[in-house]
Amino acid sequence: MIARFGALFAALLATTPAHAHDVVSGVGGFYGGLLHPLLVPTHLLALGALGLFIGQQARHHRIVLLAMLAASLLAGLVLIVAAFAATNLDIAVLGVAAVAGIGVAAARRWPIVVSSPLPLLAGAAIEFDSVPEEISMGMTFLALVGTACGAFLVAMLLVEMTVDLKRDWQKIAVRVAGSWIAASAILVLALRFAR
């Protein structure tokens, strides 16, 4: 478990400031997309809250919810390649972060009917919000495949980390993190709509 935290910490230290859809210091294509969920704050908030939320659920629900996230990321990719477009999906991403963060703070196991919309919305919204500004369809496809892989890996690592946290103070820390994520997302949404 310490090795996982070390690897995640090293990856975070290696990142540079994010500009949502710019090429990361010469890294484009698949690898730029792979880093994208780590470098866009709204995506990181949503994936963080979603990973913590899924990690609090029962084992069989975790598997279903992670499969839904993967399917949703893939569906978003297919829709983008089929020339569908959407705008202002950062609002949906922040909404997922807020709702999942509140769910984490509540520390309940939710029925699958209640929890399944979160990964379904998150995956598609993150993919649509990650379309690079490149003209090449091949590079766009590679970047979006990378984004799907990166988003799923971030969520899966946080799910596994949450499952490993067994002590009471660790569970409280997860709830606190969820409440902070929810508060941050709600504040950003409030500022966005106040304009």
Q: Residue 27: beta bridge partners?
A: 24
pLDDT tens-digit map of 160-187: 999 999 899 999 999 999 999 999 999 9
Sign of CA dihedral 51, 54, 59, 61: negative
Q: Which residues, 6 or more positions from 62, have their beta carbon under 8 angstroms from its beta carbon?
A: 54, 55, 159, 163
Helix ranges restricted to H, 14-136? 29-39, 41-55, 59-81, 90-106, 112-115, 117-128
Please tell me the pTM assigned to this model: 0.82
Token pair in block for residue 81: 């390649």
pLDDT at 46: 95
Token pair in block for residue 178: 């969820």
Burial class from Cβ neighbours inside 10 Å (0-12, 13-18, 19+) for residue 38 reads: buried
Q: Which residue has the higher pLDDT, 74 or 19?
A: 74
Q: Which residues, 6 or more positions from 90, have their beta carbon under 8 angstroms from its beta carbon?
A: 42, 129
pLDDT tens-digit map of 124-148: 999 988 888 766 788 888 999 999 9
Cβ neighbours around 6 below 10 Å, total: 10
Most confident of 11-15, 18-22, 148-152: 148-152
Confidence tier at 25 by pLDDT (50, 70, 90): low
Kindly tell me if the per-residue pLDDT of 101 is higher than 80: yes
pLDDT tens-digit map of 28-50: 788 888 999 999 999 999 999 99
Confidence tier at 23 by pLDDT (50, 70, 90): very low
pLDDT at 19: 46
